[in-house]
């Protein structure tokens, strides 16, 4: 079985605005994406987390918006299997999410929403699909 170790993370993007006029409850919607790409030699992988929360509105102008995009670099040791990739997908998310959660909480608190919490997504190895490309994709080639 292969082993996964987080090497580093980088905040790619963080956006926030709060144009709410008065305290109270608002309806929010959550958008989320998470992917893991492997180096050609399967010794490293790069995980990318994007999560966005905004008020539900039909118009283009939102009163509340926060988004975070993080990239994590991980080292892999041992022989990597598709089953490992399923496990690593979940493990990468579990290790990367807390950094995004803390960053968003700090920014929202400074912006007048101290109780805002970024929702952790439910993820299990059973709902992870492993891509089987014929050759490396550009994202896989970009992993150092």
The per-residue pLDDT for range 4-62, each reduced to its tens digit, is 999 999 999 999 998 888 766 788 999 999 999 999 999 999 999 999 999 987 777 88
3-state secondary structure of 96: helix
Distance between CA atoms of 16 and 67, rounded to whole angstroms? Answer: 7
CATH classification of 3-116, choosing from 1.10.3720.10, 3.10.420.10, 3.40.50.150, 1.10.730.10? 3.10.420.10
Spatial distance between the Cα atoms of 101 and 107, rounded to a whole number of angstroms: 10
> Would you state the pLDDT for residue 31?
93
Q: How confident is the model at residue 133 (pLDDT cuts 50, 70, 90)?
A: low
Its pTM stands at 0.84
Q: Which residues, 6 or more positions from 23, have their beta carbon under 8 angstroms from its beta carbon? A: none
Q: What integer pLDDT is reported at residue 101 of this predicted model?
A: 96
Centre a 10 Å sphere on the Cβ of residue 17 and count the other Cβ atoms it contains. 12
Domain ranges in the chain are 3-116
């Amino acid at each position: 079985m292969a082993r996964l170790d987080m090497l580093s993370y980088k905040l790619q993007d963080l956006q926030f605005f709060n144009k709410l006029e008065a305290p109270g409850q608002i309806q929010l919607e959550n958008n989320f994406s998470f992917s893991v790409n492997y180096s050609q030699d399967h010794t490293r992988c790069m995980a990318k987390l994007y999560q966005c929360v905004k008020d539900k509105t039909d118009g283009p102008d939102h009163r509340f918006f926060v988004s975070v995009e993080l990239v994590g670099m991980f080292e892999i040791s041992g022989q990597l299997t598709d089953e490992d990739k399923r496990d690593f997908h979940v493990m990468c998310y579990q290790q990367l999410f807390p950094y995004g959660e803390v960053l968003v909480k700090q920014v929202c608190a400074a912006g007048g929403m101290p109780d805002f919490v970024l929702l952790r997504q439910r993820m299990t190895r059973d709902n992870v699909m492993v891509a089987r490309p014929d050759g490396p994709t550009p994202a896989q080639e970009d992993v150092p």
